[in-house]
Structure 1
Amino acid sequence: MTSSSPVFSAQALDVRRLARAHGVMQGAVALADLPRWREDAPEWPQADAAAALQLDWQARAELRTPPGGAEQVWLRLTFTGQVPQICQRCLSVYLQPLAVDRWFRFVADEATAEAEDDDAEEDLLVWTPRFNLLELVEDELFLALPLVPMHDVCPQALPTEAVDADFHQAERPHPFAALAALKGRAGRPGPGQEDA
């Protein structure tokens, strides 16, 4: 009799079964295979390299029983990779390195998740018998992106100041300069009004 280890699918994962098997899954997902990412991602200039852009992920599930509590299913998700971003300083596309390491606890339903969310340090997920791990990877990818993506040092020098096309033309007189001149004369006596 031969025993075989259970086969798990990242797109239809029974997390409880993975935890009971003390299982660890790992793999890689191409950025092009993540539908929401593909929809919003900036174009990577090297088309052949764009196909190689991927996230290397690992998922480990475990069962924990807190003192006086019921058995809980936990999942640790880690992934690393580089994703194209547009630098907000120089507006060129660059590769942003990412590294994510997160723990999740599964709960029975949405009501439980809402009730426990404020007090929980970990993120809560609603348990489902066919959990899509790759959707979670994509969610965490978006959460890991910087709010303002920028190179550490932009590859091209940035212009230090904006130059107006009319900058070098002769300066026009200020429209209120004539009014200021009139006001200045108002305090002085006019011709024929000198003190006696």
Structure 2
Amino acid sequence: MKSRAFVPEKLDLAAFAHDGASLEGEWPAAALERLADAAAPEAPATGWPPLGWSLHGEVRRPKAAAAQTWLHLTASAQVALTCQRCLKPVPEAIAIDRWIRFVDTEAEAAALDVDSDDDVLALPRHLDARELIEDELLLALPLVPRHEHCPEPLAVADEEGEPVPEERPNPFAALAALKRKDG
């Protein structure tokens, strides 16, 4: 039997799972345009290390049920996003490890996805695994990236853009002094 060659950008998922095949590799982070768009301006994706990924397909045959097509997807990337406190680049390590079940129709996928903890998608004729991996990495990005401890002290500005001194008088200190005077 001749071994099939699978290409991640045009993956015949049914055959991939039927063969129990696996693929793995690395892509430059800049090749994933939507992920690269999330980069901090001072740390573009061209300077990020390549992201590693792997795919493994399998067909599961549960008792008294039809065969199921599954894809195991793993990927890891090191990205630099903009810290939402200091607006400087913050490195983030992202790793995904997902099992995705594929079914015949969108309607079946929607019905099963509601009742299942598993990710369920409709089986396409050809799957662009690069796009799927990019989608999963984008979903894994932190909503509010920030340093645990920002490298520079934060500067606070008033309405005119002038720096505000860090020590501001407590507006209730005068009231506390009056209360002490009366008591």
Tell me which of 136, 144, 151 is aligned to 2:147. Answer: 151
Over residues 91-137 of structure 1, what are the superposed CA-to-partner deviations in whole Å (9 max), with x where a residue is unaligned?
10122111110110001011111111111111111111211101111
TM-score normalised per structure 2? 0.78
Distance 1:38 1:65 in 2: 39
Letter in 2 for 1:36: R
Counting matched residue pairs gives: 162
Match of 2:169? none
Aligned to 1:79, the other structure's residue is in SS state: strand
Letter in 1 for 2:115: D
Instruction: Check 1:68–1:42 CA distance in 2 against 1; reply closer, same or farther (3 A cut).
Output: same
- The structure having more radius of gyration, on CA atoms, is 1
Match of 1:36? 34
Distance 1:92 1:148 in 2: 13
Aligned to 1:114, the other structure's residue is in SS state: helix
Ranges in structure 2 where 5+ consecutive residues have no aligned partner: 166-183
Distance 2:164 2:76 in 1: 50
TM-score normalised per structure 1? 0.74
Over residues 118-158 of structure 1, what are the superposed CA-to-partner deviations in whole Å (9 max), with x where a residue is unaligned?
11111111111211101111100110001110112222233
Over residues 42-98 of structure 1, what are the superposed CA-to-partner deviations in whole Å (9 max), with x where a residue is unaligned?
3343x6x82453210011111101221100110111111111200111110122111
Aligned to 1:84, the other structure's residue is in SS state: strand
Match of 2:50? 54
Letter in 2 for 1:34: L
Distance 2:21 2:47 in 1: 30
Are 2:40 and 2:88, in contact at CA under 8 Å, matched by a contact in 1? no
